[in-house]
Amino acid sequence: MNRQKLSIIGMPMDLGQMRRGVDMGPSAIRYAGVNERLKCLFEEIHDQGDIAIGRPEVQIDPTSNLRNLDLIAEKTEKLAEEVDKAIEAGSFPLVLGGDHSIAIGTLAGVSKHYKNLGVIWYDAHGDLNTAETSPSGNIHGMPLAVSIGIGHPLLTNVGGYAPKVKPENIVIIGARSLDEGERELIKEKGIKVYTMHEIDRLGMTKVMDETITYLKERNADGVHLSLDLDGLDPHDAPGVGTPVIGGISYRESHLAMEMLAEAQIITSAEFVEVNPILDDKNKTATVAVALMGSLFGEKLL
């Protein structure tokens, strides 16, 4: 983890789903004090501001039935460029979402810099749907499938190459809501998943130890953390668009971030799905910022 320079990139995009408000996620996270919280952990922090999304009309692709397909491809391409530039400048890219479809762009910008990228997907959902398996046509349920090269070519080819990550280099943590097509794809591709059952049974310490070991054994030369705030229980993170009860606790999440900081394997990160309209006094954004502090090595003593 590059502890010298941090680039914060806002991606205020809500095109991947139907609930408005997640486009204000980057602003909510900044309001919760992300720059102030992290300034003592890096020599330099560059807040790049937000990528311009605008207020486009909702579009349904007539062939695939995907919502805002062309727009998401266009906007995630811009995000990929910004993430690429940050890494080229020797900076750690931290992307603030926005719905989880932004991960298409983040991973496109990150993966080109690594031969064998690993991904930790901290989420209640698998995000492994395709146009054929998605119940809704919402692309925020597809970014992980897209990143392993499965999905509409406009999405899989963001950044000009595919795939971005090998299925065997992915670890999903916190899953508790999977569609049938996602379950089949997980089994077919051998994707490693820690559901809430495993977290409850093994404990977060064991889950993170195994995750870190697993990625090291696969010789991952970089590891991207994609953290969806709905991975946490709605009691701790109420301001998300698709809450699922029975999730990871606030303290378990801090432990997970602390263990990643100690392992020093994370080379890029994004925090997504903060929706202040659905939140309680900006609680979810505040949780996101606190978890960022733990991820980047903040200590009590």
Residue 1 has pLDDT above 70, yes or no: no
Is 300 inside any structural domain?
A: no
Count structural domains, the chain: 1
Label the pairing between strands 92-97 and 44-50: unpaired
Is 80 inside any structural domain?
A: yes
Is 193 inside any structural domain?
A: yes
- Of the listed ranges 63-72, 196-205, 251-260, 261-270, the least confidently predicted one is 63-72
Residue 2 has pLDDT above 60, yes or no: no
- pLDDT per residue as tens digits for the range 231-244: 999 999 999 999 99
pLDDT score recorded for residue 259: 98
**Residue 180 a catalytic site member:** no
Containing structural domain, residue 152: 5-295
pLDDT interval class at 58 (50, 70, 90): confident
Residue 28 falls in which region: left (phi positive, over 0), alpha (psi -120 to 50) or beta: alpha
**Residue 233 a catalytic site member:** no
Is 71 inside any structural domain?
A: yes
Tell me whether residue 113 is annotated as binding. Answer: no
Domain of 274: which CATH number?
3.40.800.10
Is 301 inside any structural domain?
A: no
Is 42 inside any structural domain?
A: yes
- pLDDT per residue as tens digits for the range 118-170: 999 999 999 999 999 998 999 999 999 999 999 999 999 999 999 999 999 99
Tell me whether residue 209 is annotated as binding. Answer: no
Tell me whether residue 254 is annotated as binding. Answer: no
Is 36 inside any structural domain?
A: yes
pLDDT score recorded for residue 62: 87
Per annotation, catalytic residue among 125, 152, 224, 254: 125
**Residue 273 a catalytic site member:** yes
**Residue 236 a catalytic site member:** no
